[in-house]
Amino acid sequence: MSNQPILVTGAAGFIGFFVARQLMEQGHEVVGLDNLNSYYDPALKQSRLDILLGEKGFHFVKADLADRNKMQALFAQHNFAAVVHLAAQAGVRYSIEQPHAYVEANLEGFINVLEGCCHNACRHLIYASSSSVYGANTKLPFSVLDNTDRPVSLYAATKKANELMAYCYSHLYRLPVTGLRFFTVYGPWMRPDMAVFLFTKAIVEGKPIKLFNHGKMRRDFTYIDDVCRAVTSLVSRIPANDAASDGPPAKIYNVGNSHSEQLMHVVALLEKELGRKAITEMLPMQPGDVTETCAEVGELAHDAGFSPSTSIEDGIAGFVAWYRDFYKV
């Protein structure tokens, strides 16, 4: 790529933490940005950040994506070779309670990243989208060629907007952009608001776990190590202009395991690893949720050699081992 640094936004977050570490292992200098907000326990973010701060080649900037002046100054100062934009206000359910947080972080923040990239000669923007953009789509597996104009949550709508904004900037300024639709990423250091973490904590504490749609849900669980390999392999894989259609240098990939798991199977694996039974509370479907996700990943496999190799059994074992160690249970 070059000796110029790579910006990783959301570096104290789950995926950002792993991506920043792997990029440094590959010899890149990394500038990590995070606002360390309190959407979930800031102590977990700080623990991730403390590890990064101990690594050679890591520089931390505490800033909010929506702070236009700070973002302009950051891009002007560093002249980033590439940007891996993973910071966002996450969570489907929270977007119903706090919609303005999603507009500020995911829309205002994203336009500041796009502006920074195109006015400071950034050679590649990789940004996080989400499997939630598929919304009410019922055709499985989900393909990047599927229609995605029926979001069922504001979070999904902001992620779809990110894809459209990125395409627009790629068209106008020939900025190479790669969007990644992540499918239920899990593993050590994961966010505490996600199902695997919530279930583990409840089982350990002897509290009931909430199973929506009466547990009849399937998810394409994707282990963090597999996701991290995909993201870092794409940094130097810069999209080219589509000569046939005169299209812009813009790509979108699904990043998933291409196999959906029954939620009840995941609960059973957690019970086995934790050595205790879950207390279950069966509930109806939640607003903004979908019953099943499954990724078609052929294009990512073809372009970047993506081949997820972590089974759900090994992945759950890896997460529980980390949870036991980190929380001393």
Query: pLDDT of 229-284, one tens digit each?
Result: 999 999 999 999 876 667 899 999 999 998 899 999 999 999 999 999 999 999 99
SS3 category, 58? strand
d(CA 34, CA 69): 16
210 and 226 both lie in a single domain: no
pLDDT tens digits along 53-74 = 999 999 999 999 999 999 999 9
Please check whether residue 163 is in contact with residue 144, taking contact to mean a CB–CB distance below 8 angstroms.
Answer: no
Q: Are residues 87 and 45 in the same domain?
A: yes
Report yes or no on 288 lying in a domain. Answer: yes
Q: Tell me what pLDDT residue 244 has.
A: 67
With a cut of 70, say whether residue 220 has pLDDT above it.
yes
**239 and 123 belong to one structural domain:** yes
Q: Are residues 124 and 216 in the same domain?
A: no
Residue 153 lies in a domain: yes
Q: List, in sequence order, every beta strand (DSSP E) within 204-304.
A: 208-212, 218-219, 222-223, 250-255, 261-262, 279-283
Residue 208's domain spans which residues? 195-220+259-292+309-327
Check residue 2 and give its pLDDT.
Answer: 58
Crossing angle of helices 109-119 and 154-173, rounded to 10°: 20
| Inside any domain, residue 247 | yes
pLDDT at 3 over 80: no
Confirm whether 201 is domain-assigned.
yes
Flag whether 303 is in a domain: no
3 state DSSP class of 279: strand
Structure tokens at 224: 């963090």
> Is 120 within the bounds of a domain?
yes
Do 148 and 272 belong to one domain?
no
Structure tokens, 92: 């489907």
pLDDT at position 1 over 70: no
| Residues 169-199: tens digit of each pLDDT | 999 999 999 999 999 999 999 999 999 999 9
Q: How far apart (Å, rounded) are the C-alpha atoms in residues 101 and 17? A: 22
Q: How many CA atoms lie within 13 A of 26 on its CB side?
A: 20
pLDDT value at position 242? 74
Q: Flag whether 300 is in a domain.
A: no
Asked if residue 142 lies in contact with residue 150, where contact means CB atoms within 8 angstroms, the answer is: no
Picking from 173, 185, 326, 199, the residue whose alpha carbon sits closest to that of residue 254 is 185
- Separation between Cα atoms, residue 188 and residue 186, nearest integer Å: 7
122 in the same domain as 211: no
In angstroms, the Cα distances linking 183 to 43, 57, 76, 219, 253 are: 25, 30, 33, 8, 11
| 143 and 272, same domain (yes or no) | no
The tokens describing 88, both together, are 């966002």
> How far is 17 from 295, CA to CA, in rounded Å?
24
pTM across the whole model:
0.95
**Catalytic residue check, 173:** no
Domain presence at residue 67: yes
Query: How does pLDDT run across 98-113, given as a tens digit for each residue?
Result: 999 999 999 999 999 9
Of 255, 275, 300, the residue that ends a domain is 255
Whole-number Å distance between alpha carbons of 14 and 246: 37
> Within this chain, do residues 229 and 316 fall inside the same structural domain, yes or no?
no
* Chain segment 5-44, per-residue pLDDT in tens: 999 999 999 999 999 999 999 999 999 999 999 999 999 9
How far is it, in rounded angstroms, from Cα 128 to Cα 180? 5
Domain holding 131: CATH number? Answer: 3.40.50.720
Q: In CATH, what number is assigned to the domain containing residue 200?
A: 3.90.25.10
pLDDT of 288 > 90? The answer is: no
Q: 65 and 180 share a domain?
A: yes
Whether 70 and 213 map to the same domain: the answer is no
Residues 6+ apart with CB under 8 A from 156: 92, 130, 132, 133, 135, 288
Residues 211 and 228 in one domain: no
Question: Which of the following is catalytic: 39, 155, 223, 253?
Answer: 155
**Quick one: angle between helices 263-274 and 312-327, nearest 10?**
50
Q: Both 116 and 202 in a single domain?
A: no
Residue 156's alpha-carbon distances to 109, 181, 193, 300, 327, in angstroms, are: 16, 11, 17, 22, 32
- Reported as type and span, the H/E element at residue 263 is helix 263-274
Count of domains observed in the chain:
2
